Amino acid sequence: MTNTPGASDIGISHSTLVSCLGRGRTPHVTALRDGTSGLREDHNLDLPFSCFLGEVDDLTALCFPVELSAYDNRANRLALAALESDGFFQAALATRENWGATRCGIVVGTSTAGVEMLERVYRARDDDAPMPESYSMRHHDSQQAVAAFLQDYLDFQGPSYSISTACSSSAKALVDAYQLIEAGLCDAVLVGGVDSLCLTSLNGFESLELISRSPCKPCDSNRDGLSIGEAAAFLIVERDSKNSIRVSGFGESSDGTNMSTPPEDGAGAAAAIRQALQRAGLTAGEIDYVNLHGTATIVNDAAEAQAVSSVIGADVPASSLKGAIGHTLGAAGAAEAVLSLYALEEGIIPGNPGLEQLDPKVLPNVAAQCRNAPLKHVVSNSFGFGGSNCALVFSR
């Protein structure tokens, strides 16, 4: 990406991730190497069907800040758990100290924010009863609710807003983080994604007949749909970063064809990937690994394979991590950005949990098992309802 004078070396200084695999770097890197899945059939949701979910454990045991108890919901607990992992909270405070609170912004990608709390309150009402006066949209189901919690908790007083483009939300948030710094409006931005498990998403995908009854199997011949997960992932992007890892390119596009199904040729996704490579100044042959959006639906995986093949080439090493953490929806872009950073730093091409028999209609170089490989440039894809596409290039 083009750096403006005075905003050189914009890089990713810190990151954190909480998913069903655990909290922070160590459990995730271990799982990537071992090919472990965190998807489980037993869960705490009141669902009228059975499925495997990527549920994060022990969120209720977290000590939520008393002064901010109005924000207490599952999404914000996920955010808090991520802040408390890998020293991220201390890093955020040090960032604020270094640049000044008004030079530090926040951009959060989320699809449902705290709607899980609204569901509980709504369902608990008697028929035709009004909403309880104590319920606050601002703190719960507003798409800005997580960003507002972070702003109040961390005292980052630069611009703060949320991107909500379904499953591409938090990938697109990273674009905004860079642009706020490039334009000289911020020196650092806390950026990421949060989405919790909720009845709306689960029953919604069930209505589309897209929820698998077994752990999802992206790219597998016998794949039959999604497993939904939850996650919080944050990164601190700042200028003059001493970390060499950065977003080197991004691409955004719209399918303009259908709300929930991509075109078979993956043209919209291909346009986003092509833009990302162009902005990064990279050729297709320089891409070492593609983190697929790879939701494990028949149509989506095949369309993405078409898109990647047409821009980068069919033989590029690739894998989907949805079989490890589930589809974390609005958090997926940021969660898989952090997993891609781990892959870059560790020098590994992650495997594709759930894969047993590779579908000949997807990319041929998707392997079930993790392997060591020196990585320099990684593409991460995120696609969402509304035909919203975003591709990011991470480089070191």
Under rule CB under 8 A, which residues in 134-193 are in contact with other proteins? Answer: 135-138, 141-144, 147-148, 151, 156-166, 172, 176, 179-180, 182-185
Binding map of other proteins across residues 232-261, x = CB under 8 A, - = no contact: --------------------xxxxxxxxx-
Taking CB under 8 A as the binding criterion, the range among 24-32, 59-67, 204-212, 346-354 that sits at the site for other proteins is 204-212
CB of 76 or CB of 151, closer to other proteins: 151
CB of 112 or CB of 320, closer to other proteins: 112
CB of 28 or CB of 103, closer to other proteins: 103
Taking CB under 8 A as the binding criterion, the range among 21-29, 119-127, 231-239, 350-358 that sits at the site for other proteins is 119-127
CA-based radius of gyration for the chain: 20
Among 118, 247, 321, 366, binds other proteins (CB under 8 A): 118
Instruction: Please tell me the count of residues contacting other proteins according to CB under 8 A.
Output: 74
Catalytic one of 20, 51, 167, 219: 167
**Token couple for 206:** 């069930």
Among 130, 285, 360, 374, binds other proteins (CB under 8 A): 130
Q: Give which of 380, 390, 7 is closest to 173, Cα–Cα.
A: 390
Catalytic one of 28, 139, 293, 377: 293
Q: Which value, to the nearest 10 degrees, does the dihedral of the CA atoms of residues 195, 184, 276, 385 take?
A: 30
Catalytic residue list contains 140: no
Q: Write phi, then psi, for 379 (nearest 5 degrees).
A: -100, 135
For residue 323, the minimal CB distance to other proteins (Å) is: 23
For residue 369, the minimal CB distance to other proteins (Å) is: 35
For residue 372, the minimal CB distance to other proteins (Å) is: 36
CB of 66 or CB of 259, closer to other proteins: 259
Q: Which of residues 368-387 bind other proteins (CB under 8 A)?
A: 384-387
Contact 228, 332 (CB under 8 A): no
**Token couple for 171:** 């990938």
**Token couple for 228:** 């939904």
CB of 102 or CB of 372, closer to other proteins: 102
Residue 95 in the binding site for other proteins (CB under 8 A): no
Catalytic residue list contains 293: yes
Among 33, 62, 65, 203, binds other proteins (CB under 8 A): 203
Look at residue 238 and give its three-state secondary structure. strand
d(CA 166, CA 150): 20
Binding map of other proteins across residues 259-278, x = CB under 8 A, - = no contact: xx------xx--x-------
Look at residue 117 and give its three-state secondary structure. helix
For residue 227, the minimal CB distance to other proteins (Å) is: 17
**Token couple for 341:** 């950073």
Q: Give which of 177, 252, 154, 250 is closest to 12, Cα–Cα.
A: 177
187 CB-near residues (< 8 Å, 6+ apart): 99, 100, 103, 104, 181, 238, 239
Contact 88, 82 (CB under 8 A): yes
d(CA 19, CA 14): 17
For residue 254, the minimal CB distance to other proteins (Å) is: 4
CB of 36 or CB of 261, closer to other proteins: 261
CB of 29 or CB of 277, closer to other proteins: 277
Catalytic one of 14, 139, 140, 327: 327
d(CA 26, CA 41): 24
Binding map of other proteins across residues 46-85, x = CB under 8 A, - = no contact: -xx-------------------------------------
Taking CB under 8 A as the binding criterion, the range among 75-83, 200-208, 241-249, 362-370 that sits at the site for other proteins is 200-208
Q: Write phi, then psi, for 206 (nearest 5 degrees).
A: -65, -40
The DSSP-derived string for 87-111 is THHHHHHHHHHHH-GGGEEEEEE-S
Please name the residue ranges forming H helices in the chain.
25-34, 74-83, 88-99, 115-124, 145-154, 169-182, 199-207, 267-280, 298-311, 322-325, 332-346
For residue 137, the minimal CB distance to other proteins (Å) is: 5
Q: Could you tell me what percentage of the chain is helix, strand and coil, using 3-state DSSP and rounding each to the nearest 5?
A: 35, 20, 45
Taking CB under 8 A as the binding criterion, the range among 54-62, 66-74, 99-107, 281-289 that sits at the site for other proteins is 99-107
Active site residues: 167, 293, 327
